[in-house]
Copies of this chain bind each other. A is one copy, B any other.
Amino acid sequence: MNRKGILVVVSGFSGAGKGTLMKKLVQEYDNYALSISATTRTPRPGEENGREYFFVTREEFEKRIADDALVEYACYCDNYYGTPRDYVEQHLEQGHDVILEIEIQGALKIKGKYPDALLLFVMPPSAAELHRRLSGRGTETKEVIEQRLHRAVQEAQGIEKYDYIVINDDLDTCVEELHGIITAAHNTPLRNEEFIEKMRMELEGEE
């Protein structure tokens, strides 16, 4: 069976718990590599270069765009965010499943470039629970919470573009489900063309 890595794109509503899920997934299983985005925004207190993001200058970011050194990028609130290509491609080549956390427009761009990418959408068990989680952080104003719920309504329109959904009710169960889905994805015929072709040749030889 092939072990070429799969590019796994994870999206989901803000508050669905993607970050915690990804961290746990990478801790529990050793076949994953978590891609870290580059950004031009200023680090927040506690953020570390190379852990949350690679913090780069606008000039450096635009050079990367010009060099086609990003798998995808986008601009929000006047800051660039993008996925460094070298990290992704090196790890795929080494057989690691590379995880990107990215919103829907980015996810669809990735699918366009890498038709083989696996798109996963993380959902909360209910909208009420999402609201609770967003409020429970206690760090956001009512306005920000409303904005995120509004954005969730928009993002929910695109769920059918994803290959799989997972419901983040219990963290451990959800991590296991994610791992199960990614493991299963290694068994599609498209991802095993070499093995299938080899089997065909061998069968003709045995005949």
Contacts and interface: CB of A to CB of B under 8 A. Distances in A.
Contacts of A127: 199, 202-203, 205-206
A71 interface: no
B126 A199 contact: yes
Contacts of A128: 202, 206
Nearest to A182: B184
B181 A177 contact: no
Given A127-B203, A203-B153, A196 B159 contact: yes
A74 interface: no
Nearest to A179: B180
Interface in A129-176: 130-131, 146, 149-150, 152-153, 156-157, 159-160, 162-167
A200 B153 CA distance: 7
Contacts of A115: none
Given A127-B206, A156-B203, A157-B200, 19 more contacts: A121-B189, A126-B202, A128-B202, A128-B206, A130-B206, A131-B206, A149-B203, A149-B206, A149-B207, A150-B207, A156-B199, A156-B200, A159-B189, A164-B184, A165-B188, A165-B192, A165-B195, A180-B183, A184-B184
Interface residues of A, number: 44
Contacts of A185: 184
Contact of A188 (B152, B164, B167, B204): B164
Interface of A: 1, 121, 123, 126-128, 130-131, 146, 149-150, 152-153, 156-157, 159-160, 162-167, 177, 180-181, 183-185, 187-190, 192, 195-196, 199-200, 202-207
Contact of A166 (B162, B187, B204, B205): B187
Contact of A196 (B1, B165, B184, B203): B165
Nearest to A200: B156
Contacts of A180: 180, 183-184
A1 B200 contact: no
A168 to B, nearest CB: 11
